[in-house]
Chain A
Amino acid sequence: MTVKIVNLKVNGVDKALMAKPETTLLLALREHLGLMGAKRGCAQGACGSCTVLLDGDPVVSCLVPAVAVDGAEVGTVEGLADGRTLSDVQRAFVDGFATQCGFCTPGMIMSAEALLERNPDPTDDEINEAISGNVCRCTGYEPIVSAIRDAAATRRASAEARV
């Protein structure tokens, strides 16, 4: 069994870790880099609790061997807030009561962030599709969809204000 050095740029910062063959990107983030935001809910790619951005795209990090993504850029929920200032999506989740137990929240937020990067004004249907891989068992999807809608509006308003 070979242990390999894996280099990642995580939330903009260069990191290196020693990965075993079975070390998934999820375990690399959690157990090697101490970033506990992404969760292990199923290790099957089915629940989305481990969703992070891999080179900008949301992926289920439990299905990605860490050694396969050496050199990649990874974005996690820990990288969203600027100090104590939350991202628009995070803020909308707090204000809109889009969290309950909180376990699905980091993955859900990463999927939402990725959606709004590509599509600043999504329809509800597009929001539903974007979070269809993120299972929530307690909050209910309605407040989550509505929080994402609110975050999109806030982002559009601040984009306009900047112009």
Chain B
Amino acid sequence: MLTEVHVPDDVTAALSLMASGAKVMAGGTGLMPWLNDHASPPTELVCLRRVGLGTVQVSGTTARLGAATTLSQVERDASLGVLWPVVRSIASVPVRNLATVGGNLFARQPHGDLAVALIALGARVSVADQTGTREVSVEDLVAGEASVGLVTDVAFELPAPGDFKYVKAARRRFNSASIVTVAATITVTEGVVTRIVVGLGGVGPRAQRAKAVEAALLGEPLTAATVQAAAEAGLGEIAPMDDAYASAWYRTRVFPVHLRRALLGH
């Protein structure tokens, strides 16, 4: 049962409330559906609406997004065009006006497509607690089990034009969870892949980095054959599940197709 909703004015107050056991809520699109209809232990929420984490800064090629930045803000920010297809593939307009960048890192699969993209972009988050602030990669944060403190912002280097790829397969064109999501940042130099980071969604309990796919492609040209081989390597590191959107069988079956579409564009 919800016993209190705190709306602190700064991060310090939020951290002290968290230290006394309150649960963080950013946009509420993950927590509120459960709290509205189900019994729960006495729960205090710390709402991040007013703590001042809702701004986007781009300096040079570095983008820094406050954790409470909404997905709609990203969608409207002229400097974040690289993320537009990502956020527009997530939920619906009235949900994107609430849902946040930080919150998406904790969305349960098959949601959390922004986390997939941020993994591929090599993004890092600042995590604060009462002892200080540390930096961790989105990849490690999303893979971790433990509670982590308060994510205050997410930063990444804007990729060179064309280097970032994103494909989300879903049941409908808009507002549907992931069947398979593929995001990748790839640099091709003199015909071969010299740098590659691949993030995957919909194919396991968490958004994940696809290291076997990356290893299979590094140093290779991007061709139908090499991508096919990389997909086969990738099958060993995914563990899709059955849900209302697709079966594990289907996800496994179409993963290579969507990897190909993401990396080769067809």
Interface of A toward B, CB cutoff 8 Å: 1-2, 21-22, 24, 43-46, 48, 51, 54, 57-60, 62-65, 67-70, 107, 111, 114-115, 128-130, 132-134
Contact of A21 with B4 in the complex, beta carbons under 8 Å = yes
Q: Which of chain A's residues has its CB closest to B175's CB?
A: A132
Listed by A's residue number, 27 A-B pairs whose Cβ atoms lie within 8 Å are: A2-B4, A21-B4, A22-B36, A43-B33, A45-B33, A45-B98, A57-B72, A57-B97, A59-B97, A63-B29, A64-B32, A64-B98, A65-B5, A65-B25, A65-B32, A68-B47, A107-B94, A111-B94, A114-B93, A115-B93, A128-B173, A129-B88, A129-B93, A132-B172, A132-B175, A133-B92, A134-B94
Q: A132 to B173: give the CA distance in the assembly, Å.
A: 9
Q: A2 to B97: give the CA distance in the assembly, Å.
A: 27
Contact of A133 with B93 in the complex, beta carbons under 8 Å = yes
Q: Which of chain B's residues has its CB closest to A118's CB?
A: B76
Q: A48 to B72: give the CA distance in the assembly, Å.
A: 16
- Range for the number of chain B residues in contact with chain A: 20 to 34
Q: A64 to B28: give the CA distance in the assembly, Å.
A: 7
Known: A65-B47, A68-B49, A133-B93. A59 touches B98 (CB 8 A): yes
B7 within 8 A of A: yes
A-B CB proximity, top 3 nearest: A133-B92, A132-B174, A132-B175
B193 within 8 A of A: no
Q: From B2, B33, B174, give the contact of A22 (CB < 8 A).
A: B2
A-B contact count (CB 8 A): 97
Contact of A68 with B36 in the complex, beta carbons under 8 Å = no
Contact of B36 with A44 in the complex, beta carbons under 8 Å = yes
Interface of B toward A, CB cutoff 8 Å: 1-5, 7, 25, 27-29, 32-33, 35-37, 45, 47, 49, 72, 88, 91-95, 97-98, 172-175
Q: From B88, B91, B97, give the contact of A54 (CB < 8 A).
A: B97
Shortest distance between the CB of A157 and any CB in chain B (Å): 25
A63 surroundings in chain B (CB, below 8 A): 27-29, 32-33, 36, 95, 98
Mostly helix, strand, loop or mixed at chain B's interface? mixed
Contact of A60 with B5 in the complex, beta carbons under 8 Å = no
Contact of A60 with B7 in the complex, beta carbons under 8 Å = no
Mostly helix, strand, loop or mixed at chain A's interface? mixed
A60 surroundings in chain B (CB, below 8 A): 29, 94-95, 98
Q: Which of chain A's residues has its CB closest to B35's CB?
A: A22
Q: A8 to B172: give the CA distance in the assembly, Å.
A: 36
Q: A141 to B223: give the CA distance in the assembly, Å.
A: 41
Shortest distance between the CB of B245 and any CB in chain A (Å): 13
Contact of A65 with B95 in the complex, beta carbons under 8 Å = no
Contact of A62 with B93 in the complex, beta carbons under 8 Å = no
Q: A1 to B45: give the CA distance in the assembly, Å.
A: 12
Given A44-B33, A45-B94, A59-B94, 17 more A-B residue pairs with CB atoms under 8 Å apart are: A21-B2, A22-B1, A22-B36, A45-B29, A45-B95, A59-B97, A62-B32, A63-B29, A63-B36, A65-B47, A68-B49, A69-B49, A111-B93, A115-B93, A132-B92, A133-B91, A134-B92
Shortest distance between the CB of B14 and any CB in chain A (Å): 13
A130 surroundings in chain B (CB, below 8 A): 93
